[in-house]
Chains A and B, each alone.
Chain A
């Protein structure tokens, strides 16, 4: 049978919803139990709740009955073999239930079955018809739909004839089934078997195992559905706790992973950090982990996020495990963050308690309850590391995983801070949870030149272009700034070294610019000298040009004059010459003759 139900577990996705063809269920009303059992206990069938002493068996049975009567209008019967009705009444009253009222209204019937073996002498054949008559009477009185037998095994101590007893038990389970009673039977856990007397042989519909462990003086209760015939159920161990509102079971691993995601961005409260996160900040509903050594500014960073959220009118829940509420508020005023104002206005709910105060699931539950009550848009847990002091690391991881899933499912932005002790191990210790977070911011200290400076960088941020720069985290009365550090010559300088370096650079730059100016002036001078020279040369040239032109003109006019004179000469010569020519011609003629 167990085999078959295992196969079913694998085939059916664990979505917490009862499949349409599955068994009819009776809701327990116990928070978390209905979720992991796929809707409650098998209706009209018997469930065995087993576990060691003090594990909460009776409480589970009682709450099943009380909630059945109060919330689902299913009257119930409690057959108590170990405690008197008065004792039970007192026990459940401490958990906030009043059964007197239910008994008066005939919603609940209590019958105390007292088995004292020393008073009983067996003298022959008998059966347990008396028990059946009492059961029938109880069921008839209130018209019961539910019944709890706590602890049926007490019969084994009362009656020595096991043959008769087992036959009667078989008859009892059939009897319960025939009357369609949803039954819870509590049983002590056996050494090798689930129950000491092997009751699971008779009932195989549903077996729930409770466990109560104490580790390092802090107790943890766990619940596991060992078997649930015909139903897919969470097979893990689920921590549960019993507090003033009864039992709360917390599913360790989320049954589903399809939360709707938001692409809306939420400012971080630090403008420089927004800028590093793609200019807009975190995604709404994402999980953010801020890791860092002591005093590296984790709380300040979370507080400024909270303050900014409150300023926008969004509700914020701040759970502190390190400092008291007032201490955080006082400290944050030193960086200009006034948390008290928002607490007074009710936008910020600030709670603080010691991590060692409870076991891990109690923390988770308290946070859950706060979230349910406050309905915040943002949750800050500062720091999660301190929870480890109370529990084993594995449990913390599984708790955080559940918390993150829960918050994501509700689109609540969650900031977890994490104190790391040694910078070497910084990234190792966080591995378990870092994979769950969407954005991981690391704050670390740099010790250099006799001072310690805070540095911040974003190790990862899913789904956004984020800066890979290491920034210096500077806190002042005016708030927080993330200053780009001096990066050059293979060193990162922060703090006063950065300031000195920056001053030096400034001076150097000044000198350089002055030199440039000087050179430019020289150039300018040279240019004007050149210009002057060119001017002089031009002047010289034009003077020479004029002179030369004048000389050319002179010579030309002289030439002209000469020509004129020659012409005049010629003319003059030609008058005399005519005669001369005549005479000459005559002479020549005569000569020629």
Chain B
């Protein structure tokens, strides 16, 4: 099952390209369902609708796990903007999701997050 959610609302961060997201789930497990609802809430709050979301159920399309190197379920992949970021878990920790999606920007306050962010920029793939 592929489910695409496309929204073309006005951008909260003008000038930036739309964010391309993929959420990998495996069936309708509680973790997957939690992740999906958490993701939708975060996107609505922080992306102001300017994003593209694709939900991929690996039970139905197992061969798709190879392309994005999916091991953990659920995994949220940000394909755009580069670099590619992966966020695993049910996305219940909103702060970490925002760090993972580089949505913290200049108001990033947590010092422990900065090294991980810096590393990810250096480690292009």
Binding site for B on A (CB under 8 A): 111-116, 118-131, 133-134, 136-137, 155, 158-159
Are A114 and B69 in contact, CB atoms less than 8 angstroms apart? yes
A119–B116 Cα distance when bound, in Å, is 9
Are B99 and A121 in contact, CB atoms less than 8 angstroms apart? yes
**0 or 1 for each of B92-125: is its CB under 8 Å from A? (1 = yes):** 1100110110000000000000001001101101
Are B59 and A133 in contact, CB atoms less than 8 angstroms apart? yes
Q: A125-B89, A134-B70, A158-B71 are in contact. List 11 more A-B contacts (CB 8 A).
A: A114-B69, A120-B88, A123-B100, A124-B34, A124-B93, A126-B31, A128-B72, A130-B65, A133-B62, A136-B62, A159-B72
A129–B35 Cα distance when bound, in Å, is 15
Shortest CB–CB separation between residue A499 and chain B, in angstroms? 87
| B3-11, B12-20, B43-51, B79-87: which lies at the interface | B79-87
Known interface pairs A119-B125, A123-B96; A113-B69 also in contact (CB < 8 Å): yes
Shortest CB–CB separation between residue B121 and chain A, in angstroms? 9
Instruction: Identify the closest chain A residue to B35 (Cβ).
Output: A124
Q: Size range of the interface on B?
A: 35 or more
B55 at the interface (CB under 8 A from A): no
A123–B35 Cα distance when bound, in Å, is 10
B28 at the interface (CB under 8 A from A): no
Task: Name B71's contact: one of A118, A122, A124, A130 (CB within 8 Å).
Answer: A130
Point out the residues of chain B lying under 8 angstroms from A122, CB to CB.
87-89, 96
Point out the residues of chain A lying under 8 angstroms from B26, CB to CB.
129-130, 133
A29–B65 Cα distance when bound, in Å, is 32
Task: Name B75's contact: one of A112, A130, A136 (CB within 8 Å).
Answer: A130
Are B87 and A123 in contact, CB atoms less than 8 angstroms apart? yes
Point out the residues of chain B lying under 8 angstroms from A111, CB to CB.
66
Are B69 and A129 in contact, CB atoms less than 8 angstroms apart? no
Are A126 and B74 in contact, CB atoms less than 8 angstroms apart? yes
A466–B116 Cα distance when bound, in Å, is 82
Known interface pairs A133-B26, A133-B65, A134-B65; A124-B89 also in contact (CB < 8 Å): yes
Point out the residues of chain B lying under 8 angstroms from A137, CB to CB.
62-63, 65
Known interface pairs A121-B87, A123-B97; A129-B123 also in contact (CB < 8 Å): no
Task: Name A123's contact: one of B59, B69, B92, B125 (CB within 8 Å).
Answer: B92
A485–B33 Cα distance when bound, in Å, is 101
A279–B45 Cα distance when bound, in Å, is 104
Shortest CB–CB separation between residue A160 and chain B, in angstroms? 10
Are A129 and B73 in contact, CB atoms less than 8 angstroms apart? yes
Are B100 and A126 in contact, CB atoms less than 8 angstroms apart? no
Q: Between A and B, how many residue pairs show CB distances below 8 Å?
A: 112
Are B92 and A125 in contact, CB atoms less than 8 angstroms apart? yes
Task: Name A130's contact: one of B38, B70, B91, B99 (CB within 8 Å).
Answer: B70
A159–B97 Cα distance when bound, in Å, is 16
Pick the most buried of A112, A113, A119, A131: most chain B CB atoms within 10 A of its CB. A119
Are A120 and B65 in contact, CB atoms less than 8 angstroms apart? no
Point out the residues of chain B lying under 8 angstroms from A155, CB to CB.
71
Point out the residues of chain B lying under 8 angstroms from A118, CB to CB.
116, 119-120, 122-123
25 A-B residue pairs with CB within 8 Å: A113-B69, A118-B120, A118-B122, A119-B125, A120-B72, A121-B100, A122-B87, A122-B89, A122-B96, A123-B88, A123-B90, A123-B93, A124-B34, A125-B90, A126-B31, A126-B73, A126-B89, A127-B72, A128-B73, A130-B58, A130-B71, A133-B65, A133-B73, A137-B63, A159-B72
A134–B74 Cα distance when bound, in Å, is 14
Known interface pairs A126-B72, A130-B73; A121-B85 also in contact (CB < 8 Å): yes
Point out the residues of chain A lying under 8 angstroms from B34, CB to CB.
124-125
Are B86 and A121 in contact, CB atoms less than 8 angstroms apart? yes
A584–B25 Cα distance when bound, in Å, is 204
Are A126 and B90 in contact, CB atoms less than 8 angstroms apart? yes
Instruction: Identify the closest chain A residue to B101 (Cβ).
Output: A121
Are A121 and B88 in contact, CB atoms less than 8 angstroms apart? yes
Are B31 and A125 in contact, CB atoms less than 8 angstroms apart? yes
Instruction: Identify the closest chain B residue to A159 (Cβ).
Output: B72
Point out the residues of chain B lying under 8 angstroms from A116, CB to CB.
69, 123, 125
Are A127 and B31 in contact, CB atoms less than 8 angstroms apart? yes
Pick the most buried of A112, A118, A134, A136: most chain B CB atoms within 10 A of its CB. A118
A130–B57 Cα distance when bound, in Å, is 10
A130–B91 Cα distance when bound, in Å, is 17
Shortest CB–CB separation between residue A2 and chain B, in angstroms? 32
Point out the residues of chain A lying under 8 angstroms from B120, CB to CB.
118-119
Task: Name B24's contact: one of A121, A127, A130 (CB within 8 Å).
Answer: A130
Point out the residues of chain A lying under 8 angstroms from B96, CB to CB.
121-124
Pick the most buried of B35, B59, B71, B125: most chain A CB atoms within 10 A of its CB. B71
Point out the residues of chain B lying under 8 angstroms from A136, CB to CB.
62
Task: Name B91's contact: one of A120, A124, A127, A128 (CB within 8 Å).
Answer: A124
Shortest CB–CB separation between residue A122 and chain B, in angstroms? 5
Task: Name B58's contact: one of A113, A126, A133 (CB within 8 Å).
Answer: A133
